[in-house]
């Protein structure tokens, strides 16, 4: 006669495939966000009230911020108080990167990342991009998942939202590019890489007189982005290749365009995507559950 032994589990700390996926999402996103916060602390002069990124200047973009709400926000978003917001973000990020933090501790850190992210975005949206928005989504959804420790369907729905957001972001980015004649002709590649903000001299010299190469890079980017959602149904080797190609794409953007934060925010969604991939996450999850069941019998 086989005796099934069930080990007690804390209600606030479910240890399963969903929690493991969220831990990877949180840590990868926190890596980029923490680096960004530390960089902002190092360049704190840019946050001074007399600078163009100062609160007195930034709040003029919204009329409501110059009335009563703005006066309350002054206590948090003016310099040097805002350094406390950025510091709290760095501490929250380091907490998420800690290998032994509890699920409840992660929830507190996620609340810190979500709140400070909203405050920084409110203070000034200059310089923010899709990576910041994606990081906010990752943190907010991960925090929401912590509110339902015993509801697997709700937690899985939260993880599915991140996976869907990732696939949608890639697909729409590629589809919109395909509607542009500048992208279809390859001129977007030479145009972007000759700029001071996102350009790179080496890459520009490589493609400026090579029309076919620029066009190949442009079409390769567009097609890869549009086809990214196939990772959910593609056979295991192809699904892995798609994710590796995505990582390589963002590493290239970090190297040649200076888009370092995109790597962490978007690659952080890959654990969620892999979880719902037909031949990656789900197959592995079933194997793990079967192994656990056999081990407890």
Rounded to an integer, the average pLDDT of 80-91 is: 94
Angle made by CA atoms 156, 157, 162, in degrees to the nearest 5: 95
How confident is the model at residue 258, as a pLDDT? 85
Q: What are the Cα distances from residue 26, in Å, to 38, 124, 203, 268?
A: 18, 24, 33, 7
226 pLDDT exceeds 70? yes
Each residue's pLDDT tens digit, 95-153: 999 988 999 999 999 999 999 999 988 887 765 677 888 999 999 999 999 999 999 99
Instruction: Give the lowest-confidence range in 53-62, 74-83, 167-176.
Output: 53-62
Between 100 and 64, whose confidence is greater? Answer: 100
21 pLDDT exceeds 70? yes
pTM (2 d.p.): 0.85
Per-residue confidence band for 12, with pLDDT thresholds at 50, 70 and 90: low
How confident is the model at residue 283, as a pLDDT? 47
How confident is the model at residue 144, as a pLDDT? 96
Query: Is the Cβ–Cβ distance between 96 and 227 less than 8 Å?
Result: no
Each residue's pLDDT tens digit, 230-260: 999 999 999 999 999 999 999 999 988 888 8
Q: Which of 159, 141, 155, 135 is nearest to 276 (CA)?
A: 159
How confident is the model at residue 292, as a pLDDT? 45
């Amino acid at each position: 006669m086989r005796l099934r032994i069930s080990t007690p589990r804390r209600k606030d700390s479910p240890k399963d495939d969903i929690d493991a996926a969220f831990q990877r999402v949180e840590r990868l996103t926190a890596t980029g966000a923490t680096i960004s916060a530390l960089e902002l602390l190092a360049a704190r002069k840019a946050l001074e009230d007399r600078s163009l990124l100062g609160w007195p200047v930034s709040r003029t973009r919204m009329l409501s911020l110059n009335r009563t709400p703005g006066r309350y926000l002054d206590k948090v978003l003016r310099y040097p108080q805002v350094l406390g917001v950025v510091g709290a973000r760095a501490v929250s990020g380091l907490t998420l990167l800690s290998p032994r933090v509890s699920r409840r501790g992660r929830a507190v850190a996620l609340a810190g990342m979500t709140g400070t992210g909203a405050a920084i975005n409110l203070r000034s949206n200059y310089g923010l991009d899709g990576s910041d928005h994606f990081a906010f989504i990752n943190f907010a959804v991960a925090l929401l998942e912590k509110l339902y420790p015993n509801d697997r369907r709700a937690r899985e729905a939260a993880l599915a939202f991140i996976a869907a957001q990732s696939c949608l972001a890639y697909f729409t980015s590629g589809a919109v590019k395909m509607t542009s004649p500048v992208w279809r002709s390859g001129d977007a590649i030479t145009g972007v890489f000759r700029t001071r903000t996102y350009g790179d001299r080496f890459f520009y010299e490589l493609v400026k007189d090579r029309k076919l190469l620029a066009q190949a890079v442009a079409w390769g980017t567009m097609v890869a982005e549009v086809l990214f959602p196939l990772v959910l149904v593609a056979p295991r080797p192809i699904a892995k290749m798609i994710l590796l190609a995505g990582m390589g794409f963002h590493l290239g953007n970090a190297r040649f365009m200076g888009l370092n934060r995109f790597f962490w925010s978007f690659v952080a969604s890959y654990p969620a995507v892999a979880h719902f991939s037909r031949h990656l996450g789900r197959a592995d999850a079933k194997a793990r559950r079967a192994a656990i069941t056999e081990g407890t019998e």
